[in-house]
A and B are shown apart, each in its own frame.
Chain A
Amino acid sequence: MSEEAPANTATAEKKLPKDLAAENGMVNVQIDGTWIQVPKGTRMIEAAKMAQKEVPHYCYHPKLSSPGNCRMCLVQMGMPPRLAPGQDPEYNDEGYQEIGWMPRPVIACANTVAENMGIRTTGDLVEKTREGVMEFLLINHPLDCPICDQAGECKLQEFSVEHGRGESRFQETKIKKPKNVDIGQNIRLDDERCIMCSRCIRFMDEVAEDPVLGFSQRGTHTSVTVHPGHRLDNNYSLNTADICPVGALTSNDFRFQMRVWFLKETKSIDTNCGTGANTVIWTRGNEIFRVTPRENNDVNSSWMPDSHRLAFHSLQTDDRLTQPLVKEDGNHIDVTWTEAVNKAAELLKSGNVAVIASGKQSNEELFLTQKIASAIKSDLLTIVPRKGEPDGKLISEDRNPNSTGANLIFQADDAASKLETIKNEVRSGNVRTLLVLHENLLDEAGFTTSDLEKLENLIILHTHANPTAALASVVIPAAGFAEKRATYVNVTGRLQRANQAVIAPGETRDDWESLGTILAKIDPTFTIPSSLDGVLKLLSTEIPAFKDQTFGSIGDLGVPITETGITIPLVEREKEKIKSGQIVG
């Protein structure tokens, strides 16, 4: 910075760091002895984060208001001494004023930085303070760690190891509070474990807009409760278990299923609606134990609806298709994957074919599907629309995770527009062969059994056994959302990546492999790419919106590739709150 100032000119004022910073709306802050520039109005805790200094905290959450009630984030703060009337400020060689350190600590979460401020996140005063706060928090905390689901990801465990005194001086009897309380369908409350950070209360009030939680009693008897006559039954209630720094609120679904230290985290996205909330899938072995939201401020902030995060159970049911089947004399018989794929390709070559794809399919799969349709010269290609009531937060009206992708790849305004045409063609008997992907036609699509019986051949690719598959002449098992790598485009036009967390059951192969092989059998000029990345590469060369996109370029947070004009209400509201300074974001 100092190089920019005119050198060796006695007349020119040398610009001070405070003036240089002010030009960009920044202020200079000294954090643990190092001067950095941070934007004006930054919270001290965020400034420390920028300087890569951890300030332990419980109640502070960037997406919620800051009440400053846990006192864990106390740091030492200093400002230049106040000047006497007529006194000029003195600057040292580096251009900063001397910092006069305050004798008492301040909370870092609710105070903002100022020019020439000093922050100490270590030192005697701060360490003693943290030790004291930890001791108070642990006074009534039960020794439940062996039975507590939070153990292993518990901030109280972590900070008591890091900042606690190691042993208790508390001789008196601990306060007893309600334990194992059923407060809602998905959430279990244990009041003894609560450290009164009020994150759950603020979440239900500010984000879920269903303020059913609150504190009752006073002093050491304070406890979190639901309002009398109400239950914590909101569809966003499980987020309170995520943000609870201790084990006071835990998930009923995940209760005593597995200790978190055994679980492997896989970054993925939710495929239950068009929002495509970013998720982490927690697995051990080949079993999914839970799904939690992952922060993405352009898609789902840090939240996720309960209904979507519990939907993974449907992947681990007994009615999964695991074996390729071919119908002979009215009975399905087991065949090898190759036989099933060959049979499917043979039937598709017979002419009069329609293809019903799905908005649940990934971009790569839809691309290969579209190629199959053009190889057999059929313009009867559609997806099945799937609409539902939007909840005004994160659940989109469009319950297909990839309608936008289908529109881009089919190069149509509405990829689902031909569904009625196909239905009529099937009824009139013009379509003799139907290829169905990831859809049960008797369900949302509105076909009837008698419609499907008119068909000569029905080929289906699906994850689960269903009535349509029962009627099909060829059944190919397909991988579900956590069982494959894939890309999806959400309702706002953001291309996102899902990673494989578990292995698909039985003889199931990745859909791109099944579809690619069928396509290669129909169209000899097509060579199957050697990997899924190859399919995306092919897609990126043929569809303009996907130009130059690879699995690497998408990254964990996705990239916007098209404009749809649709926004996600909850994210928009949070942007407003950030603008008005209510939350940090």
Chain B
Amino acid sequence: MAVVKVQRPKLNAGEKVYFGALLKGMFITLRHAVRSLFGKTPGAKSLKSSGLGVTMQYPEEKWDDQMPEYYRGTPALVTDEQDRERCVSCQLCEFICPPKAIKITPGEIPDGDEWAKVEKRPKEFDIDMIRCIYCGMCEEVCPEQAIYLRPDYVVTGTSRQDMVHDKERLYEIGGKRVGLVNKWNDLK
């Protein structure tokens, strides 16, 4: 292999002292500091900064509108166009859930209910968000398209009980989802 000898650059006296370069660096830092006070940091806009540098003031400011459609946050239950709760409490998500975060108590839909022909729905549906690892297996296994990982990622609470999402909370997060397979249609 050919050997290439690299010549060290010859430095003049000013460069050898390096003090000038130090000052130059400090000046650049200072210039950025001053500009940031006026909200002129490069990239501040795209990074949604507060104006003070590129720092985002979480939780007053959030990334939410930057998040992709497919972002997988908290699992939640959804209703369909007809406001029917899609979950029939088959308990497959409870079975597949690797950290055992889901607990379902199945119940029967009483006669006379609009959706009595579905026969079954959850009486209670709890997801322990301390246990949840956001893997999305519940969404994948669901035969009724009833559980989805929603973009919500802020799950806070002051007690363990606060961190358990009950059925009501899950439907609140999940909301209505349209365009899913309408399995329990009039022909059914």
Shortest Cβ gap from B22 to chain A (Å):
69
Taking CB atoms and an 8 Å cut-off, the chain B residues in 102-154 that contact chain A are 106-108, 117-120, 143-144
B89 touches A262 (CB 8 A): no
Q: Is A179 touching B88 in the complex (CB atoms < 8 A)?
A: no
Whole-angstrom distance between the Cβ of A162 and the nearest chain B Cβ: 20
- Cα distance A180–B108 in the bound complex, in angstroms: 11
Within 8 A of B (CB), among A252-276: 255-259, 261-262
Identify the closest chain B residue to A174 (Cβ): B187
Q: Which residues of A contact B106 (CB under 8 A)?
A: 256-258
B183 CB within 8 Å of chain A = yes
Cα–Cα distance between A147 and B121 once the two chains are bound (Å): 9
- The distance from the CB of A400 to the nearest CB of chain B, in whole angstroms, is 37
Alpha-carbon distance between A82 and B106 when the two chains are bound, in angstroms: 62
Contact in complex: A143, B91 (CB < 8 Å): no
Q: Quick check: B108 and A146 within 8 Å, CB to CB?
A: no
Q: Is B92 an interface residue (CB 8 A)?
A: yes
Q: Cα distance A143–B185 when bound, in Å?
A: 12
Number of interface residues of A (CB under 8 A): 17
Contacts A146-B144, A256-B107; A261 near B119 (Cβ below 8 A): no
Q: B95 at the A/B interface (Cβ < 8 Å)?
A: yes
B90 within 8 A of A: yes
Given contacts A180-B119, A255-B108, A256-B108, contact A146 B92 (CB under 8 A): yes
- Closest B-chain residue to A142, C-beta based? B188
A262 to B89, CA, bound (A): 14
The answer to whether B183 and A259 have CB atoms under 8 Å apart is no
Among A146, A180, A258, A262, the one with the most B-chain Cβ atoms within 10 Å of its Cβ is A146
- Min CB distance, A353 to chain B, in Å? 49
- The residue of chain B having its C-beta at the shortest distance from the C-beta of A261 within the complex is B95
Kindly identify, within residues 117 to 148 of chain A, every residue whose CB is under 8 Å from any CB belonging to chain B.
142-143, 145-147
Q: A255 to B89: give the CA distance in the assembly, Å.
A: 13
B143 touches A145 (CB 8 A): yes
Which residues of A have CB within 8 Å of B143?
145-146
Question: Which residues in B have their C-beta under 8 angstroms from that of A151?
Answer: 90
How close is B143's CB to chain A, nearest CB, in angstroms? Answer: 5
CB A182 to nearest CB in B, in angstroms, measures: 10
| Residue of chain A at shortest CB distance from B106 | A256
Pick the contact of B89: A173, A174, A256 (CB < 8 A): A256
Are B108 and A259 closer than 8 Å at their CB atoms? no
Given A173-B187, A256-B89, A259-B90: A147 and B120 interface contact (C-beta under 8 Å): yes
Question: Nearest Cβ distance between residue B147 and chain A, in whole angstroms?
Answer: 12
Specify which of A145, A151, A259, A262 lies most central, judged by the most chain B CB atoms within 10 Å of its CB: A259
Question: A259 CA to B93 CA in the complex, in Å?
Answer: 12
Chain B proximity of A180: nearest CB distance (Å): 6
Residues from 226 to 278 in A contacting B, C-beta threshold 8 Å: 255-259, 261-262
Tell me the nearest residue of chain A to B187, going by C-beta.
A173
CB distance from B60 to the nearest CB of A (A): 43
B117 close to A179 (CB less than 8 A): yes
List residues of chain B with CB within 8 A of the CB of A255: 108
Contact check, B183 vs A143: say whether CB atoms are below 8 A apart: yes
Contacts of B188 in A (CB 8 A): 142
* B117 and A147 contact, CB distance less than 8 A: no
Interface 1/0 per residue, B65-105 and A, CB below 8 Å: 00000000000000000000000111110110000000000
For residue A174, which residues in chain B have a CB less than 8 angstroms away from its CB?
A: 187
- Name A147's contact: one of B90, B95, B187 (CB within 8 Å): B90
Q: Residues of B contacting A173 with CB < 8 Å? A: 187
Note all chain B residues with C-beta closer than 8 A to A147: 88, 90, 118-120
CA distance A145 to B88 in the complex (A): 10
> CA of A189 to CA of B183 in the docked complex: distance in angstroms?
22
Chain B residues whose CB sits within 8 angstroms of the CB of A146 once the complex forms: 88, 90, 92, 120, 143-144
Minimum CB–CB distance from B90 to chain A (whole Å) comes to 4
Q: Which residues of the partner chain B approach A145 to less than 8 Å between Cβ atoms?
A: 90, 143
Tell me the complex Cα distance, A155–B91, Å. Answer: 20
Contacting pair A259 B91 (CB below 8 A):
yes
Residues of B within 8 A of A179 (CB): 117, 119
- The docked-state distance in angstroms from the alpha carbon of A258 to that of B108 is 12
Per-position binary interface string of chain B over residues 22-37, scored 1 when its CB falls under 8 Å from any chain A CB and 0 otherwise: 0000000000000000
User: What string of 1s and 0s marks CB contacts (under 8 Å) between A305-333 and chain B?
Assistant: 00000000000000000000000000000
Closest to A143 in B: B183
B125 CB to nearest A CB, Å: 14
Q: Which single residue of chain B is at the shortest CB-CB distance from A256?
A: B106
Closest CB-CB distance, A168 to chain B, in whole Å? 14
Nearest CB in chain B: distance from A515 CB, A? 39
A145 to B183, CA, bound (A): 12
With A and B bound together, what is the CA distance between A434 and B34 in angstroms?
A: 95
Q: Could you tell me the distance between the alpha carbons of A173 and B108 in the complex, rounded to whole angstroms?
A: 27
Tell me if B91 and A256 are in contact (CB < 8 A): no
Of all chain A residues, the one with the shortest Cβ separation from B111 is: A180
Q: Which residue, of B106, B144, B183, has the highest number of chain A Cβ atoms within 10 A? A: B106
| A-B contacts besides A146-B90, A147-B120, A180-B119, 19 pairs, CB < 8 Å | A142-B188, A143-B183, A145-B90, A146-B88, A146-B143, A147-B88, A147-B90, A147-B119, A173-B187, A179-B119, A180-B117, A256-B106, A256-B108, A256-B120, A258-B91, A258-B106, A261-B95, A262-B91, A262-B95
Q: Can you pick out 14 interface pairs between chain A and chain B where the beta carbons lie within 8 Å of each other? A: A142-B188, A143-B183, A145-B143, A146-B120, A147-B90, A147-B120, A173-B187, A179-B117, A255-B108, A256-B107, A256-B120, A259-B91, A261-B95, A262-B91
The 8 closest A-B pairs by CB, nearest first: A146-B90, A147-B120, A256-B106, A259-B91, A146-B143, A147-B88, A146-B88, A147-B119
